[in-house]
Amino acid sequence: MINVLKIFKKEYQTLNKIEISKKNLLSNYRYLSSLNRRVKIAPVIKSNAYGHGLIPIAKILDKINAPFFCVDSLYEAYELLKIGIKTKVLIMGYTDPENFKVKKLPFSYAVFNEEVLSILDKYQPGCGIHIFVDTGMHREGVPLQKLPQFLQEINKYPNLKIEGLMSHLASADDKKDLLNKLQIKNFKRALEICKEFGVKPKWIHLSNSDGLVNNIPGNIQNLSRTGLALYGISSNPNLIHVLSFKSKIIQIKKLEKEDRIGYSGTYTAKKPTVIGVLPVGYFDGVDMRLSNKGFVKINKISCPIIGKVSMNITTLDISKITNPYIGQEVTIYNSIKETAKICNTNPYDILVHLSSSTKRIII
């Protein structure tokens, strides 16, 4: 029977969108999984999946039988729970222990705090924990010299299940950095200490994307927490970008020589210029540092961003475009690495500032 209501149902049209390539995402996962057959891949989907969208990315990857998803917060884990994600979830960030008292949760937790151990044991019996040891990055984590004491503390809590031992590489993007060798040495020592205490974690994980791609930890681990490379942000040519950020021209104007553009008139037209106005700005994720420096693509033609990027408006020089029109599609970001280079920052900085309110579309 034909659903008449569905036929006539209308949806609001969006001017700005972020396209997510399912094909590229899965291709990246398969490639990363092939780099070391002894190492499983745990997708990192924290921080709104690095701007790609927590929910759409999780839905795509929920079917690949990953060991678990890595998130930062209880909030992110709850969002996955609400949509019925079947893949296990590891919360890597710190959670206020009071929140563990509310109700029983189906998550695993990175731990480095004795107070958290006590509360998890009492209010989350049977939960999995991953011991986070500081091997030299000196952020969060149990200091190596205090690991024996921490393991003794864990023995007081029979309701906790040790699932993993983990740490994090500080300089995996630079294979020559001696800090990598120090951290590997310390991580091996952490494994020895665990063995001395009869602790045999199922998952042993140290590396991030660069650590895996550069094969820094080798075979001392059996799992890699992989984020940026999964989304195709890598120097490795086998990894393909997953995200495209697009908008549409909403107005076209012809300016005369010496006309100034945008807040404070930071750009002055050097000749008669055709400009296009986009309904997207730094609130949406168009970095302000692209003002008078960056460019977008229209029909694969580069069009400079001129004037200051505003909160919700960006202006372009579209003089090179033949017969531009209202509603014409514009690709703002395709190469995140190139954009980050222009902004003198890293790809993470660009990606995580993509507004969560911009519609993500899986293609």
Q: Choose between 173 and 306: higher pLDDT.
A: 306
Whether 303 is in a domain gets the answer yes
Whether 213 is covered by a domain: the verdict is yes
- Domain match, 266 and 217 both: no
**Percentage of residues of the chain with pLDDT beyond 70:** 97
> Domain span at residue 225?
22-231
Tokens, residue 210: 């660069």
pTM of model > 0.85: yes
Q: Of the residues 231, 259, 287, which one is the last residue of a structural domain?
A: 231
Whether residue 271 sits in one domain with residue 312: yes
Q: What is the CATH number of the domain that holds 253?
A: 2.40.37.10
Total structural domains in the chain? 2
Do 166 and 278 belong together in one domain? no
Residue 308 and residue 220 share a domain = no
Is residue 92 assigned to a domain? yes
Are 211 and 84 part of one and the same domain? yes
Per-residue pLDDT, averaged over 219-243, amounts to 95
In this predicted structure, the answer to whether residue 1 has a pLDDT above a threshold of 60 is no
pLDDT in tens, 292-312: 999 999 999 999 999 999 999
Both 260 and 226 in one domain: the answer is: no
Domain boundary among the residues 168, 196, 231 is at 231
**The one-letter amino acid at 202:** K
User: Which candidate, 303, 230, 318, 314, places its Cα nearest to that of 273?
Assistant: 318
**What is the pLDDT at residue 335?**
85
Can you tell me the distance from the alpha carbon of 23 to that of 290, in angstroms, rounded to the nearest whole number? 30
Amino acid identity at 138: H
Q: Of 203, 198, 153, which is closest to residue 39 (Cα–Cα)?
A: 203
**Quick one: 90 and 217 in the same domain?**
yes
Residue where a domain stops, chosen among 178, 198, 231: 231
In a domain, 33, yes or no: yes
User: 69-109 pLDDT, tens per residue?
Assistant: 999 999 999 999 999 999 999 999 999 999 999 999 999 99
| 189 & 292 share domain | no
Instruction: List pLDDT tens digits, range 150-170.
Output: 999 999 999 999 999 999 999
184 and 137 Cβ atoms separated by less than 8 Å: no
Could you tell me if 40 and 146 lie in one domain?
Answer: yes
pLDDT at residue 11, as a whole number: 75
Given a contact cutoff of 8 angstroms between Cβ atoms, the answer to whether 297 and 246 are in contact is no
Same domain for 93 and 188?
A: yes
CATH code of the domain containing 222: 3.20.20.10
Question: Which pLDDT score is estimated for 13?
Answer: 84
Per residue in 21-68, pLDDT tens?
A: 999 999 999 999 999 999 999 999 999 999 999 999 999 999 999 999
Catalogue the long-range contacts made by 26-32 (C-beta closer than 8 Å, 24 or more residues apart): 26/60, 26/64, 27/240, 28/229, 28/230, 28/231, 28/232, 28/239, 28/240, 28/242, 29/61, 29/64, 29/230, 31/238, 31/239, 32/212, 32/213, 32/224, 32/226, 32/229, 32/230, 32/239
pLDDT number for residue 6 = 57
Q: What is the pLDDT of residues 240-280, one digit of tens each?
A: 999 999 999 999 999 999 999 999 999 999 999 999 999 99
Same domain, 188 and 107: yes
d(CA 48, CA 61) in angstroms, rounded, equals 14
In sign, the C-alpha dihedral spanning 26, 29, 33, 35 is positive
- Is 297 domain-assigned? yes
| Residues 216 and 250 placed together within one structural domain of the fold | no
Give the list of residues 6+ apart from residue 124 with CB closer than 8 angstroms, or none: 100, 104, 105, 109, 159
